[in-house]
């Protein structure tokens, strides 16, 4: 009994055990991890939006939540009935035009001649075949993902409508027979929301800004099928740092079909400028200093998180890592320490 009391009084050990228990529970229910993550993301973003509107417009939060969810439903209706067919048509048209361009290059196209002489198209074909298989696997799961989104949307709706009641009911566990466990779960949950949620919200806002600026640049360069390109850029932008680099490849291929090497150069310059704007302005404005990670760490985290969690890992890998840093109280370095001193003494 004395050992049990010592365990409950040791905050660090007790919270570590609670965290391991939560991780074990998540492992056993990993089949519905997409539902859990999507519910949290929707609930967090919409709750933040409701609170933001509430600070500016003196309306009851339930009314604001109903209006926001109603707007989302109307937007989804028009997206599915009007824009989705256009998106599919534009995507098919874009793929067909790019394939036909590279299958029948102009006679004066020296770049493609050099590529054909120095690169094995057999290997490229094999890589494309494997990539197409992966795409078809993801497309086949769209139906199940759609049902997951509907369930997450409904759950987030009921949380936003009954937020006060949910919080009041949950607080009852803090005075129950498992109060020590509930208090540690509440502590970890608060840490999780303050780090994971903030970073995820920042990633979402950065993705929107990147998509808007990139599509504006592509519109100025007269790129076709902007709706398909906007969706692709937004999805890539949700992946920190690596998404910007990955988007260079399809945009460069399409740019070459539109205006040749000149447009490829413009695309690369545009992406570099937007990436600098993101790194030096958006990240410091939208993320706190503790989320500022070296690019080397970001790529390592993305590789491991994608391996263990699949596509979700690319989106939530960085927020989860930042949550662990906050839990371990790993502080951010001062900006002056990030630059090499080259042995010069002050």
pLDDT: which is higher, 125 or 203: 203
pTM (2 d.p.): 0.70
Does the pLDDT of residue 344 top 60, yes or no?
no
pLDDT at 7 exceeding the cut of 50: yes
* Mean pLDDT of the chain, nearest integer: 75
Residue ranges of the domains in the chain? 18-102+149-164, 187-332
Residues 34/148, Cβ–Cβ less than 8 Å: yes
3-state DSSP assignment of residue 239: coil
pLDDT in tens, 155-177: 999 999 988 898 899 888 888 88
pLDDT of residue 95: 66
Position 48 scores a pLDDT of 87
Which range of 155-164, 174-183, 206-215, 288-297 scores highest in mean pLDDT? It is: 155-164
Residue 340 has pLDDT above 50, yes or no: no
What pLDDT shows up at residue 116? 56
Mean pLDDT, rounded, for 184-196? 83
pLDDT value for 253? 75
Residue 43's Cβ-count burial label (10 Å; 0-12, 13-18, 19+) is buried
Mean pLDDT computed over 39-47: 89
Residue 42 and residue 151 in contact, taking contact as beta carbons nearer than 8 Å: no
The region of weakest confidence among 62-66, 128-132, 301-305, 316-320 is 128-132
Q: Of 80-84, 105-109, 144-148, 207-211, which range is least confident?
A: 105-109
d(CA 338, CA 313): 27
């Amino acid at each position: 009994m004395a050992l049990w009391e010592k365990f409950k009084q040791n905050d660090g050990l007790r919270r570590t055990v609670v965290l391991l228990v939560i991780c074990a529970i998540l492992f056993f229910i990993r089949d519905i991890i997409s539902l859990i993550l999507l519910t949290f993301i929707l609930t967090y973003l919409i709750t933040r939006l409701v609170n933001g509107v509430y600070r500016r417009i003196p309306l009851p939060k339930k009314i604001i939540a109903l209006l926001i969810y109603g707007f989302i439903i109307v937007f989804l209706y028009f997206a599915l009935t009007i824009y989705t067919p256009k998106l599919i048509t534009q995507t098919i048209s874009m793929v067909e035009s790019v394939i036909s361009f590279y299958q029948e290059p102009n006679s004066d196209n020296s770049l493609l001649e050099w590529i054909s002489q120095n690169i094995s198209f057999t290997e490229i074909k094999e890589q494309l075949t494997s990539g197409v298989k992966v795409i078809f696997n993801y497309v086949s799961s769209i139906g199940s993902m759609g049902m997951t989104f509907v369930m997450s949307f409904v759950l987030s709706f009921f949380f936003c409508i009954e937020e006060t009641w949910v919080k009041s009911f949950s607080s009852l566990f803090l005075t129950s027979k498992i109060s020590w466990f509930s208090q540690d779960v509440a502590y970890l949950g608060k840490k999780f929301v303050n780090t994971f949620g903030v970073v995820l919200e920042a990633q979402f806002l950065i993705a929107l800004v990147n998509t808007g600026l990139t599509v504006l640049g592509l519109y100025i360069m007269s790129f076709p099928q902007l709706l398909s390109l906007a969706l692709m850029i937004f999805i890539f932008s949700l992946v920190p740092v690596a998404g910007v680099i990955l988007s260079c490849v399809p945009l460069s291929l399409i740019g070459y079909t539109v205006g040749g090497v000149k447009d490829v150069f413009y695309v690369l310059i545009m992406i570099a400028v937007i990436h600098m704007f993101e790194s030096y302005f958006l990240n410091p404005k939208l993320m706190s200093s503790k989320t500022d990670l070296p690019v080397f760490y970001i790529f390592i985290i993305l590789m491991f998180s994608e391996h263990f969690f699949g596509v979700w890992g690319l989106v939530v890998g960085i927020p989860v890592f930042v949550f662990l840093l906050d839990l371990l109280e790993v502080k951010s370095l001062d900006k002056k320490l990030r630059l090499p001193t080259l042995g010069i003494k002050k």
